[in-house]
Amino acid sequence: MRFSTGLLVVGIAMTADAQTQYTSTGVAAVAAAAATAKTLSPVSSIRGNQFDRFINIWLENTDIDMAAGDPSLQWVAKQGITLNNYNAITHPSQPNYVASVGGDTHWVWEDWMFRIDSDVRTIVDLLEDGGVSWGLYQEDMPYSGFEGNWVNHKTGANDYVRKHNPLMSYDSVTSNEDRLAKSKNFTMFYRDLEADTLPQWMFITPNMTNDGHDSSVTVAGAWTKRFLEPLLSNPTFMQNTLIMLTFDETECYICRNRVFSVLLGDVIPSSLRGTMNDTSFNHYSIMSTVEHNWDLGNLGLNDEKAPIMFNK
């Protein structure tokens, strides 16, 4: 475990009252790096046992009752299966993201510039061994593979943060240029969608306003509906597709860490849309579901025994 000292990675400055501000590298430095940043959009078509495409979308810090009461998220729930007993792993954010792709929190206990040793494997190693294309879409990331944090330079608001990009804490990803090149922004998402070059495995993180972190569940819910509604009827996107919408953790630290989660997509039979499933799942189920779908094996960590979320 090390703290990153890379040129493009800068520290977090705690303000005296409450909200953490994420400082970011200068506009000029980022523009220069963006000009030469490598971007990759490889595709594949490996048949899965339950689905052929998997999309994970994460929102932030919301108690389940708040989410379940939001009209936009109620609309989302009607399109799929609500997982009524789905639990986050821990607090705060970063270890949850880290766990969802690595089968363990790997001693990441805080939101910080942690670096997990390069011999620690992730879902990416399993996907690549199985020939399954993958990519991340992170709203407002200034360029593909950017390793720092980024604020909106017009308003000063937090925008893209490293801690909400699940793979950025892993040296096995950041030390590999071709892997970094698959961490892309939403401009690239819509370009890949248009060109039909989306990968089979995706992780999507909206910006710090749209994911609810610096706003409210109303904003996060409205973003989710706005983002998903056109995709749910888009035949380029819906190719035997399973979408998993969830929250990283509850806002309340002393409550049970049960988070609002919905499975969506054209693989969900119409008879199950708008229903609830009471089986107990957690963020490790994201890995086990994907591993089982493409017969990828597992990392032998918490992913190995986590219950599978979707059996067609």
Ligand X SMILES: *[C@@H]1O[C@H](CO)[C@@H](O)[C@H](O)[C@H]1NC(C)=O
Residue tagged 């108690």 (tokens): 63
Minimum CB–partner distance for residue 119 and ligand X (Å)? 28
Find the catalytic residue in 65, 104, 171, 214: 214
Short-list 190, 163, 196, 180, CA closest to 36: 180
Least Cβ distance, residue 223 to ligand X (angstroms) = 7
Whether 214 is catalytic is yes
In the bound state with ligand X, the residue whose beta carbon lies nearer, of 118 and 279, is 279
Q: The tokens 């994911």 sit on which residue?
A: 211
Question: Least separation, in Å, of the C-beta of 3 and ligand X?
Answer: 26
**Min dist. Cβ of residue 276 to ligand X (A):** 8
Judged by the rule CB under 6 A, the positions of this chain that interact with ligand X are: 34, 37, 39, 139-140, 142-144, 152, 157, 159, 185, 187-188, 207-210, 277, 279, 308-311
What's the burial of 19, exposed, middle or buried (CB within 10 Å: 0-12/13-18/19+)? exposed
Question: Exposure string (b/e) for 172-187, b if CB count within 10 Å is 16 or more?
Answer: bbbeeeebbbbbbbbe
Q: Which two tokens stand for residue 197?
A: 């070059």
Phi, psi of 276 (to 5 degrees): -120, 150
DSSP three-state, residue 90: coil
Q: Which is nearer to ligand X, 75 or 227 (CB)?
A: 227
How would you class 214 by CB atoms within 10 Å of its CB: exposed for 0-12, middle for 13-18, buried for 19 or more? Answer: middle
Question: Judged by CB, which is closer to ligand X: 44, or 84?
Answer: 84
- Closer by beta carbon to ligand X, 85 or else 118: 85
Which active-site residues does the annotation give?
214
